[in-house]
Amino acid sequence: MSLLFLVLLLLLPCTSGLPFYNGFYYSNSPDGWGLGHGHGEGLFNGVKLVVETPEETLFTYRGANVTLPCHYHYEPALASPRPIRIKWWKLSDNGAPEQDVLVAIGPRHRSFGVYQGRVHLRQGREREVSLEIRDLRLEDYGRYRCEVIDGLEDESGLVELELRGVVFPYQPPQGRYQLNFHEAQQACEEQDAVLASFEQLFRAWEEGLDWCNAGWLQDGSVQYPITLPRQPCGGLGLAPGVRSYGLQHRRLHRYDAFCFAAALKGQVYYLEHPEKLTLTEAKAACQEDGAQIAKVGQLFAAWKFWGLDRCDAGWLADGSIRYPVAQPRLNCGPPEPGVRSFGFPHPQSHKFGVYCYRQR
């Protein structure tokens, strides 16, 4: 990086008349790349490297194969191809280190960590260096950088990937404000979900989510979305919005969680069964049907993306009782669509139906 800085310094006097955007000027002189050669004279002839990525966020779903587009070119165009290196990496949101995804030098490619075997470089068009990710996972969403390195110069572009999904507030059986950050993370995972990001909660709020209890988000902050200001939820004086308690102590402070469940490949259904069941019987009944008792995240995803609509209360894996309503109607709860919740009844002494999940 200090070399690049030096390049820029050297360039300043001789390029001040040229427009400067998104690119570094560099040399393609035949005598190599060393900055020691002639203090820059003749090394830079105004050719620049430009990397292009889409400005819009890409939306996709879990399990999909997705291509993150990235192209580069030179201005002015060069007649002959030049050797380059490509590096794709994922930026971090919450202080975790960035992750290497893929590095390519000529025909040699290498992928890293959780991306191994799932990514490759797509080079359909000339100067295309798009990244293909297969079998997209819940944790794959985020911002990716496509970096093109030509000799000493590098340029990069950003691609933002979002999964289609649904945000839901989660409280454990013990009730309100029981979870520290780590427990909240685990609670979401147990519901086949992850802690929501601020962007995901914000989008859910735009779509009408209103929840009067504060919950953890992925970045360690605690917030809650209010659509209709009211007395017990911060008062009438505050405008609707996502309200924040800011960053909280991840171990000591306890709140609810906002989980994010991505659209599913599998199927969630209400099990047609002659009798009502205890929780234990419900789990067994789903297994007999070649499925598993559904998790909360799976029920929300099926409601949101498959329009699952059923006015029968059923057990879920965490021992809660819920039912999904896509088309509100009489005797089916409030007038808005939603997943209705009846909390956590005693698992042995109450009998209900059950929602099962079958993988496709």
Ligand X SMILES: *[C@@H]1O[C@H](CO)[C@@H](O)[C@H](O)[C@H]1NC(C)=O
The binding site for ligand X (CB under 6 A) comprises 63-65, 134
Q: Which residue lies nearer to ligand X by CB, 63 or 333?
A: 63
Give the neighbor-by-neighbor strand order of the sheet with 71-75: 25-26, 47-52, 71-75
φ and ψ of 3, to 5 deg = -65, -45
* Shortest Cβ 140–ligand X spacing (Å): 14
Calpha distance 97→120 (Å, rounded): 22
* Shortest Cβ 117–ligand X spacing (Å): 11
Spatial neighbors of 128 by CB under 8 A, at least 6 apart, are: 69, 70, 71, 122
* Shortest Cβ 130–ligand X spacing (Å): 15
Q: Which residue lies nearer to ligand X by CB, 61 or 198?
A: 61
Spatial neighbors of 64 by CB under 8 A, at least 6 apart, are: 135, 136
Q: Which residue lies nearer to ligand X by CB, 109 or 134?
A: 134
* Shortest Cβ 64–ligand X spacing (Å): 5
Calpha distance 106→118 (Å, rounded): 19
Q: Which residue lies nearer to ligand X by CB, 65 or 287?
A: 65
* Tally of residues, the chain: 360
The residue nearest ligand X at its CB is 65
DSSP for 94-113, please give it: SSPPPEEEEEEETTEEEE-G
Helix (H, G, I), strand (E, B) or coil at 286: helix
Query: Are the C-beta atoms of 259 and 187 separated by less than 8 Å?
Result: yes
Q: Which residue lies nearer to ligand X by CB, 60 or 191?
A: 60
* Shortest Cβ 61–ligand X spacing (Å): 9
Token pair of 92 as six digits: 């971090």
Q: Which residue lies nearer to ligand X by CB, 82 or 134?
A: 134
Calpha distance 306→269 (Å, rounded): 11
* Shortest Cβ 65–ligand X spacing (Å): 4
* Shortest Cβ 135–ligand X spacing (Å): 7
Query: Are the C-beta atoms of 236 and 252 separated by less than 8 Å?
Result: no
Q: Which residue lies nearer to ligand X by CB, 64 or 233?
A: 64
